[in-house]
Amino acid sequence: MQVIPARWGALAAAVLAVSLVAGCGGDSVQPAPAASTAPADPDPAAHMRTVLIDPGHNGGNDAKQMAKKVPDGRGHTKACNTTGTSTDAGYPEHRFNFYVAAEVRQLLISNGINVVVTRTNDTGVGPCVDARGKQAAEVNADAVVSIHADGAVPNGQGFHVIYPKPPLNTAQGAPSVSLATALRDALRGAGFPESNYAGKDGLVGRSDLAGLNFSKRPVAMVECANMRNPQEAVTVSNSVGQARYAQAIAVGILAWLRDHPPVSTTPSASAEPSAGSDGDRAQADESETSSSRTSASSKASARPKPTN
C-alpha cells in the first residue's frame, strides 16, 4: 500500500514540466523520444531501468525498534533506524525526506524509470538501515539514492552527497562516486550551495553508513541541507523548497542513468560486506524504510514492478 499525498502527483508533474526542460546547468533531461525507425521493443518492461529511492529514516518512533542493533556492514553495529533530525521549529527530517522522495519518484516514473522505494508511508517504523542497503540487490536496482537532510551546527550550510568509502564491492567504487558526482552536479546546477562544513566540493566518502555498506548497486546518499541552519530550515520545510530538491535529484539520477547504460543482466558481483553496524554521524543519518521488498531475480526480465 502506498500512502502518497495527493499534492505530490500534481506537484511532481509541474516540477517535471519546469525542471526537466530547464534541466540543471543546461543539462536538460527529457523523456526519451519514441524511436520511430527502430524496431519495436518486444519486451519494454524488461529494459526499464530501476532506481531504488530511500526516504531516509522512519516516520514513527518505536523504542523497541530503535534499541535494536543491526550490522553496519563493516564489523560493527548501529541503531536499526531513527526519525532523524529536525529544524529548530520542529519540522522533522523524516517528513522532508519522504516528501522529496515521493516527488523524485514521480519525476523518474514520468521519465520511464521503474522506481522502488524503501518505505511507502511516513508514519511507521523500519526497515532497518542494513535491510535498506540489501534491498538494492533484491530489486536489481541500477542505482540507489538515499534522501536525507542533516542536523549540524547552525552556521553550517549547504548540501553534500555521500558515497561509500572505502568500497566493499565493485558497485560501491567508481559507479557510486560517479552517481554521487552526478547528484552533486545537479544540485549545484540548481543553485544549491555545497556544504561549508562537510566534505569537499559537495562530496563525502564515509564508511559508517549501513545503507551504503550493504548496497551491491551504485549508491549515494544526499544530505540536502542543514536543517539547523535558519535559512535552510525554511527551504526544507516548505513544498516549494522540497520540489526544488526533488527536481535536482531527479535530474542528477537521470543524467547518471543516461551516462551509464545497462551493463548486462548478470548478477552484480562483489564482495560481501562484513556484518557490522552503522554509525551515524552527528544525527542519525541513514535510516531507511520499509518496504516493498521484493525478491527480485537479477535478470532484467524478471524485474519486479514498482512496488510503491
Inter-residue contact 139 to 304 (CB < 8 Å): yes
Nearest-approach distance from CB 92 to Zn ion, in angstroms: 10
Of 142 and 245, CB closest to Zn ion = 245
Q: How many residues bind Zn ion (CB under 5 A)?
A: 4
Please list the alpha-helical segments (H only) found in 209-272. 210-213, 230-236, 239-259
Report, in Å, the least distance between residue 27 CB and Zn ion. 27
According to DSSP, the β-strands at 50-55 and 77-79 are unpaired
Q: How far is the CB of 69 from Zn ion (least distance, A)?
A: 18
Residue 70 to residue 75: CA distance in whole angstroms? 10
Among 23, 55, 56, 276, binds Zn ion (CB under 5 A): 56
Q: How far is the CB of 56 from Zn ion (least distance, A)?
A: 4
Residue 285 touching Zn ion (CB under 5 A): yes
Judge contact between 24 and 252, C-beta under 8 A: yes
> How many residues are listed for the chain in this entry?
308
Residue 99, sorted as left (phi over 0), alpha (psi -120 to 50) or beta, turns out to be alpha
Nearer to Zn ion, 194 or 285 (CB): 285
Which of 226, 225, 184, 186 lies closest to 205 in space, CA to CA?
184
| CB 213 within 8 Å of CB 168 | yes
Nearer to Zn ion, 56 or 133 (CB): 56
The verdict on 211 binding Zn ion (CB under 5 A) reads no
Closer to Zn ion at the Cβ: 103 or 285? 285
State the nearest-atom distance from the C-beta of 244 to Zn ion, in Å: 19
CB-based contacts of 225: which residues, under 8 Å, 6+ apart?
149, 150, 157, 158, 159, 192, 232, 235, 236, 245
Closest CB to Zn ion: residue number: 148
- Of 66-85, binders to Zn ion (CB under 5 A) are 84
The region of 28-36, 141-149, 169-177, 194-202 touching Zn ion under the rule CB under 5 A is 141-149
Span from 49-57, 59-67, 263-271, 292-300 in contact with Zn ion (CB under 5 A): 49-57
* Catalytic machinery residues: 223
Binding residues for Zn ion (CB under 5 A): 56, 84, 148, 285
